[in-house]
């Protein structure tokens, strides 16, 4: 087990199975020393954790938990490409999409569910640039979707 997976275990978490794509794409691709993940939904055991809009049917707290699950799923996609998570040299970029009501403005707080997990799991290598974007709807009526770019070491 890698140091990153040890840190996940300390948090009571584990790398899940790679989520099956819901359309015609792959969970991640490698280009040079970068791994690009597809958008990861808050799937747990093959099902969305919750559906709906943040600020409506979904609370900010629930959405933050969803963002963390999206991050776990992104970690799984990265691991499927590079094998050992200790090869993660840097989480370069995180983009969090939050399906929210028009009056909800807490997208950055929701995205922290993912960002804080990357920091806990990868330490300094988990510090990243980020965008948190409010959108009207996401696939399968998910409240959150997260994609990442990771730089890997040799």
pLDDT of 20 reads 81
Q: How far is CA 74 from CA 56, 58, 93, in A?
A: 26, 22, 12
Q: Could you tell me if 82 and 152 are in contact, meaning their C-beta atoms sit under 8 angstroms apart?
A: yes
Residues shown for the chain:
154
Degrees to nearest 5, angle at CA 58 with 52 and 61: 145
pLDDT mean over 69-89: 97
Q: Could you tell me if 60 and 138 are in contact, meaning their C-beta atoms sit under 8 angstroms apart?
A: no
The whole-model pTM stands at: 0.96
pLDDT tens per residue across span 47-76: 999 999 999 999 999 999 999 999 999 999
Q: How confident is the model at residue 21 (pLDDT cuts 50, 70, 90)?
A: confident
**pLDDT exceeds cutoff 80 at 1:** no
Q: Could you tell me if 39 and 97 are in contact, meaning their C-beta atoms sit under 8 angstroms apart?
A: yes
What's the rounded Cα separation, in Å, for the pair 110 and 101?
14
Looking up tokens 């770019």 gives 149
Task: Give which of 44, 41, 77 is closest to 150, Cα–Cα.
Answer: 77
Percentage of the chain exceeding pLDDT 90? 95
**Domain range annotation of the chain:** 3-152
CATH of 3-152, one of 3.30.1330.40, 3.40.190.290, 3.40.50.2300, 3.40.50.460: 3.30.1330.40
């Amino acid at each position: 087990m890698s140091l990153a997976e040890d840190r996940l275990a300390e948090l009571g978490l584990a790398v899940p199975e790679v989520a099956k794509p819901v359309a015609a794409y792959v969970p991640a691709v490698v280009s040079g020393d970068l791994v690009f993940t597809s958008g990861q939904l808050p799937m747990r055991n093959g099902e969305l954790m919750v559906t709906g809009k943040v600020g409506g049917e979904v609370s900010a707290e629930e959405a933050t938990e969803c963002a963390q699950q999206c991050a776990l799923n992104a970690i799984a996609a990265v691991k499927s490409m590079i094998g050992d998570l200790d090869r993660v040299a840097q989480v370069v970029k995180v983009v969090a999409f939050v399906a929210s009501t028009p009056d909800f403005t807490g997208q950055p707080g929701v995205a922290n569910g993912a960002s804080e997990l990357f920091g806990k799991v990868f330490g300094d290598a988990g510090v990243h640039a980020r965008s948190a974007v409010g959108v009207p709807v996401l696939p399968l009526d998910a409240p959150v979707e997260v994609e990442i770019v990771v730089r890997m070491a040799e």
